[in-house]
Amino acid sequence: MTNLAELLKTPGASLECEDDFDAVNELVRGRGWSDGLPVVPPTARRVEEMLAYCDRPWDEPVAKIAPRYGDATPLRLAANAVMAGCRPEYFPLLILVTEALCEEPFNLYGVQATTHLCAPLVIVNGPVAKELDINSGHNAFGPGWRANATIGRAIRLALVNIGGAIPALGDMSTFGAPSKYSYLAAENEAASPWEPLHVERGLPREASAVTVIGAECPHNVNDHESLTAEGILTTIAGTLIAVGANDIYYHQAQPLVVMGPEHAKTVADGGFSKADAKRFLHEHAQLPMRRFSNENIERRLRVTFKERLGAAGLDEPVPMVQRPESILIAVIGGAGKHSAVIHTFGATKPVTRALRLRDGRYAKSVADFRSQ
């Protein structure tokens, strides 16, 4: 694709350091180029191995990452992927996620710089999820899986090192969240009774895709007793209700409901399509206005939803999400009677983007990106 030795001669493209793990990490920490954990030294050899899975010029930005609006070139992304511990075949996914995050509806500036504790959540669909062995089962959002851990971490490092999401400087989150280290899982398509997320969002099943969501951490939904679709959905709807959620106040908000395979089966066996489940959730995830604080009623609900709530009585129901179709549903996880509710930053929209080759065709495999 490109000559790395030539590229590295560009001022600022590289720097020399003693060939020693501790020395490299000392330098990286000193420059603020880390998530706080030690990194794999991004040597020219390792970066070049990463770039072997790149089908575009290594110095041509694929996006600009807010809030610094730094150029996300494949070269820089590759250095971050190496630092995160990625295998080279993961690299096409890192480029794809970067592009998705920088699409306008996602509002990456807001997600990065807000005081809210959101982090970009990535859901991977399609054949590439299996090819890269991305965990979609037990502990899918947790540790123990190289692809989930390191691709997610590479995204974070790119957001910090290229985008400038530095605590109290470009990342103003009041608390942050553990999901800011890494937040990536695949959908458990094999265990889902419904069409996968990327198909629901308009892509063919054979496409591989990522969906990015400016999300909170998962909140568990325990239901070991309900035997019917309505029962399970009632419990999930009850967990969606949270008077402190950002999603309430934003017209475009799209929270995610992650159903464990066992809950999903019970719901589907009850004759519910995804659209039916969303209608039920929307209808039942509502709370009488009197359950909000007086100030939130007067200063926010009555103002934001002036037409509907401006003069409404205190028993008027307030929905947690504006429309049934705004709720996203994905099936993830292993055995167990659990689901999870994932609220969002609110001022963000999920973006789904397919893995395509430069000529526009859907990639069948990450091997399609190999340049040498």
Partner 1 sequence: MCELRKRGLATAVIVSDAFLRLGKTQARVFGVPDLPLLLIPHPLGGLSLEQVEGRAAHAIPQVLKLLKERAA
CB of 67 to partner 1, least distance (A): 6
- Quick one: which segment of 100-108, 169-177, 211-219, 246-254 binds partner 1 (CB under 8 A)? 169-177
CB of 168 to partner 1, least distance (A): 7
Neighbouring C-beta atoms of residue 64, cutoff 10 Å: 15
Residue 184 pairs in a beta bridge with: 122
- Told to check if 168 binds partner 1 by CB under 8 A, we report yes
Task: Determine the interface stretch with partner 1 among 37-45, 62-70, 222-230, 240-248 (rule: CB under 8 A).
Answer: 62-70
Q: Does the footprint of partner 1 cover residue 227 (CB under 8 A)?
A: no
Pick between residue 166 and residue 357 the one whose CB is nearest to partner 1.
Answer: 166
Q: Is residue 172 close enough to count as binding partner 1 by CB under 8 A?
A: yes
Phi, psi of 21 (to 5 degrees): -55, -50
- Of 17-25, 164-172, 176-184, 241-249, which segment contacts partner 1 by CB under 8 A? 164-172
Q: Binding segment for partner 1 among 154-162, 168-176, 196-204, 352-360 (CB under 8 A)? A: 168-176
Tokens 């929270």, residue located: 255
Residues 6+ apart with CB under 8 A from 136: 129, 185, 186, 187, 188, 189, 332, 333
Residue 308: closest CA among 321, 320, 317, 295: 317
Any contact of residue 67 with partner 1 (CB under 8 A)? yes
Pick out residues in 96-135 that bind partner 1 (CB under 8 A): 113
Among 68, 116, 156, 349, binds partner 1 (CB under 8 A): 68
Binding test (CB under 8 A) with partner 1, winner from 38, 85, 170, 270: 170
Query: CA 156, CA 161: separation in Å to the nearest integer?
Result: 8
Q: Please state the closest distance from residue 32 (CB atom) to partner 1, in A.
A: 13
CB of residue 175 to partner 1, shortest distance in Å: 14
Torsion sign across C-alpha atoms 141, 130, 201, 53: positive
**Is 92 one of the binding residues for partner 1 (CB under 8 A)?**
no
Q: Does 72 bind partner 1 (CB under 8 A)?
A: no
Name the site residues for partner 1 (rule: CB under 8 A). Answer: 67-69, 113, 164, 168-170, 172, 295
